[in-house]
C-alpha cells in the first residue's frame, strides 16, 4: 500500500524590516526600564510617618522624644544624617516607631552625634532644634527631611534652607539661633558618658532612667545598632 506524501510549504524567509522593528522595540523597553530604575533610585527615602500625629516631648536636657510618656521603654538612637550606616538603619528605626511608638507601647529618643558628616551634621542638628523654636513639631519633620534628601544626594549648602522653606520657618532667624543653641554639645556629652563613639548606636531607658545597653537572647548590644528583634524584645520584656 502506498502512502501519499503531503507536500510541506517552505517556511517564509524572515522579514528584515520586521526583525529591525523587534530589535528597536526591545531596545526601547530596556531604555524605559533603565530610566525608571534611575528615577526610583533618585527618589528620596521617606518613612511615610506623620510625626504630627505622635506625642512629642523634650527631656530636661532638651532631648527630643516621640511617643506615649507613660510607656516604660524608650529606645535611644545616636545618629548622623550623613552616615551611610545610619541611612541603612533608618528603616529599622522607622519600623519601630510605626509598630511600637505610634501604638503607644514605647518611646523613641533621637540624639545627633556628628561622625561622618562632621560640622555639616552639627549645623543641621542645631538648625533642627532652632526650627522647633519657631514651629512646634518642626524638629522631627526636619530630621525626616534631612535623612530623606541626603539619601537622594542633596548635600549642598542650601539643603537646610530648602528644608526651612518646606517647613515654613525663617531660615535666617534659625541660623542666628544656632549661635546660642547648645543642644549639640549636650548630645555629644551624653554620648561620651555612655561610651558611644560611632553611629548609629542604640541604647534604652526604662521608666525614664539612665541609658543602658539592650540585651536580647543572650546578646548585649553595647556597641552600634541593635536589630529590630532586639528593640521589639526590649518592649515585650517589660510590657
Each residue of 34-90: pLDDT tens digit? 433 333 333 334 568 999 999 999 999 999 999 999 999 999 999 999 999 999 999
- pLDDT-above-90 percentage for the chain: 78
Q: What average pLDDT does this structure show over 168-180?
A: 97
Whether the CB-CB separation of 199 and 85 falls below 8 Å is answered with yes
User: Any idea which residue has 544656632 for its cell?
Assistant: 178
Residue 10, pLDDT above cutoff 90? no
Q: What average pLDDT does this structure show over 101-111?
A: 98
Q: What average pLDDT does this structure show over 207-233?
A: 97
Confidence of residue 239 (pLDDT cuts 50, 70, 90): confident
Q: What average pLDDT does this structure show over 194-202?
A: 97
Neighbouring residues of 177: CB distance < 8 A, sequence distance ≥ 6: 126, 129, 130, 133
pTM recorded for the entire structure = 0.81
Beta strands of the chain (E only): which ranges? Answer: 56-58, 64-67, 73-79, 106-112, 201-206, 214-216, 219-221
The pLDDT mean for the chain works out to 87
Interhelix angle 183-193/119-134, nearest 10 degrees: 120
d(CA 139, CA 128): 5
Q: 53-237 belongs to which CATH class? A: alpha beta
The Cα-based distances of 127 to 135, 148, 151, 235 in angstroms read 12, 16, 19, 32
Amino acid at each position: 500500500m502506498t502512502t501519499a506524501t503531503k507536500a510541506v510549504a517552505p517556511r517564509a524567509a524572515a522579514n528584515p524590516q520586521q526583525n529591525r522593528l523587534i530589535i528597536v522595540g526591545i531596545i526601547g523597553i530596556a531604555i524605559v526600564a533603565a530610566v525608571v530604575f534611575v528615577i526610583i533610585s533618585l527618589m528620596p527615602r521617606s518613612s511615610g510617618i506623620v510625626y504630627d500625629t505622635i506625642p512629642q516631648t523634650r527631656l530636661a536636657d532638651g532631648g527630643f522624644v516621640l511617643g506615649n510618656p507613660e510607656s516604660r521603654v524608650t529606645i535611644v538612637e545616636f545618629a548622623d544624617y550623613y552616615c551611610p550606616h545610619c541611612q541603612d538603619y533608618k528603616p529599622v528605626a522607622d519600623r519601630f516607631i510605626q509598630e511600637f511608638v505610634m501604638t503607644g507601647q514605647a518611646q523613641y529618643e533621637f540624639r545627633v552625634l556628628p561622625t561622618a558628616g562632621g560640622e555639616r551634621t552639627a549645623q543641621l542638628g542645631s538648625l533642627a532644634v532652632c526650627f522647633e523654636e519657631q514651629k512646634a513639631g518642626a524638629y522631627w519633620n526636619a530630621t525626616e527631611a534631612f535623612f530623606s534628601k541626603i539619601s537622594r544626594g542633596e548635600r549642598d549648602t542650601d539643603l537646610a534652607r530648602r528644608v526651612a522653606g518646606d517647613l515654613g520657618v525663617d531660615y535666617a532667624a534659625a541660623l542666628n539661633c544656632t549661635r546660642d543653641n547648645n543642644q549639640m554639645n549636650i548630645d555629644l556629652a551624653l554620648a561620651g558618658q555612655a561610651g558611644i563613639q560611632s553611629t548609629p548606636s542604640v541604647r534604652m531607658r526604662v521608666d525614664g532612667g539612665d541609658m543602658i545597653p539592650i540585651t536580647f537572647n543572650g546578646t548585649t548590644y553595647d556597641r552600634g545598632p541593635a536589630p529590630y528583634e532586639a528593640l521589639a524584645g526590649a518592649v515585650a520584656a517589660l510590657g
